[in-house]
Amino acid sequence: MNRNGAVTESLLIISGTMGAGKTAVLGEASDILALRHIAHAAIDLDALGLAHLPSVGSTEDVMYRNLQSVCKNYASLGVRRFLLARAMEDRAELELCRGSVAATNTVVCRLTASMEVMQQRVRVRESGVSQLEYVARVAKLNAILDRARLEDFTVTNENRSLTEVAQEMLVKAGWISN
């Protein structure tokens, strides 16, 4: 609780370029927390904005409104810890996340891997009409994240088990101990 007696909201954002493993690590971290009986919500933010809305210029506003609603629902059930997967491209987006979750304690983890591995993951995952665009976006987004430097720490997600990666992230974030 904070000084005013309000319950503190903790937000752990899993950032990284496409193919870094945000969604997979989000799921594994959620499983680790569940096994430890730690109440939390795990949200893939991109999934909350997956839409084609011709009348709306950008789906980001809708995505963050959806996030706010989802977090409010979880908070009404007593959830105070939120895991969020999303590539944080700039400080404004980070502040939108903090505001949507009403987080008083935010930690950003950036997942990393070699460019070749991340591009291969995207190539395998995205087999549809936008595959080439998505594979090219890996390097572009990685450069954006390099410039933004919003992460509190990084975790390597290559040549390691998913469990090991998620556990390291949760320990570094202070959510669990070894």
Please list the ranges in the chain whose pLDDT falls under 50.
1-6
For residue 159, the model assigns a pLDDT of 98
Distance CA 43, CA 176 (A): 19
Kindly state the tokens that stand for 19: 């193919």
- pTM, two decimals, is 0.93
Q: 43 has which bridge partners? A: 84
Which of 56, 58, 82, 55 has the alpha carbon at shortest distance from 68? 82
| pLDDT the model gives residue 57 | 72
- Cα–Cα dist 12/97, whole Å: 10
Backbone angles phi, psi at 115, to 5 degrees: -60, -40
At 4 the pLDDT is: 38
Candidates 150, 148, 131; CA nearest to 19 is: 131
- Per-position DSSP letters for 33-50, written without gaps between them: HHHTT---EEEEGGGGG-
Domain annotation for the chain: domains and CATH numbers: 10-172 (3.40.50.300)
Task: Give the DSSP letter of residue 89.
Answer: -
Instruction: Provide φ and ψ at 5, rounded to 5°.
Output: 85, 0
Note the pLDDT of residue 161.
98
Contact 23, 85 (CB under 8 A): yes
Q: What is the pLDDT of residue 53?
A: 87
Q: How high is the pLDDT of residue 8?
A: 56
Phi, psi of 94 (to 5 degrees): -60, -45
Listed in sequence order, the DSSP H helices in the chain are 22-35, 60-76, 91-101, 115-125, 131-148, 162-172
